A and B are shown apart, each in its own frame.
Chain A
């Protein structure tokens, strides 16, 4: 009897309920499987298990699809399939770095602003968010890329500097709500320092927001990376789907579409899967949904 009640209590928790709900969401599971496959592809490329010849000229110009070149070759004879695989690594590198740091910065500043809402700290944080949000994104990236010259992380810096504001606004709102709850007042009453209240008692309770927002930022980062690389402002070294699409501008006029199709398909499937995964996660973590 007591064992059953313990299990019932465990199922009532936010996370166990989320796992339960997610496991019932078919679209969510399919999207998770796709994202997992992409992750394995990225890890394999990162570990040198495959796509090791992405930079080599291994064939002739614009060779058609064959058993040797699954997606054909590009204008200088590089294998398009290998380049598409290697680009997955780039995508995940950019996505993870940007999502992780933008979410962390957003969480930190959002929590502090929310906790001290109405104070000068909140004013400054809101002013910063307002200023950054008011700058057109691609103009901002171009300015940072120019300022940082050849720095391969110029794109990352620009994205983090832009994407954290959304996270911060959401976290700020949640923290304003949480800080008026009784357990926080109790912590105040027993003399727990404010910094401990913020980071030990409030911030962990915004984690479901951070998780969902992290996946959304991940998708935004990979889409932006492709666009920026296409524009020549993104990836400096390595390969990216954006660069492949950029390459295809020299090819589609001549009737060769393999580069364009391969990069677009890889990007489309990943973005769709991540969006579906993000939706499923949001549903699973939403306590209002049954």
Chain B
């Protein structure tokens, strides 16, 4: 049989480091060999480790757990595969039943960031099966389909679910998918923006600890937001007219922050999965790395400023 031997771990060459700000409340993704010491707090930050996971020999410094949620058929799996393998394969997916997962290791300025991405079934009745996993997620990507009003109307219900089951400081992004289908578009960009603003209001200011104004995201969120944000935006740019799945993203941690990513083009080398270092110098990945090395007391990543700064320029949604 085609059973593949998993290479043994190379040993924990990078033990859990105290350089990480211990602010993120969710369960860490624990690499095999980096065991938390007895002093580890109950809510540990994502831990770095050098571990071989899944037999692919993918070593990483830091790992995050990301979940894709949203109504059935909005394109969660398509988004994931586009991101994971760089392939746009609309029309070749089967409905996701239950919950599925994929790993993706990104090279961010020489640092390996592993995203453990959980894909979920969108049908309402599966929520009771999947929401048990919300609590461990560092980020939730909430998708709707801009050509399907009902999927947009469901966002509120998803938010309620998320508020109930996810960590209070989870990074949440609202993504309007399939914007390339301009003819069939029924959810306006403004509506998405408005919804992001409104939901940011309640999620952000009420729940994030130490929140004061727009820059309320704790460092864990910032790191993750930067990583997830870039990863996702990098993913979705489509090359040809036949493969146009574009979207826009919003984040609850940045009230009113709506943007379409101008950096997509530059991110494309990553999408190809070639393993080359990524020229992300002007992107927040540098900050992502920096944040990981900084002590928690250092100044916060000014997300709102960042959004403003990055928000100028061309859009990934408009070719």
A joins B in a complex: no
By a beta-carbon cutoff of 8 Å, the part of chain A in contact with chain B is: none
By a beta-carbon cutoff of 8 Å, the part of chain B in contact with chain A is: none
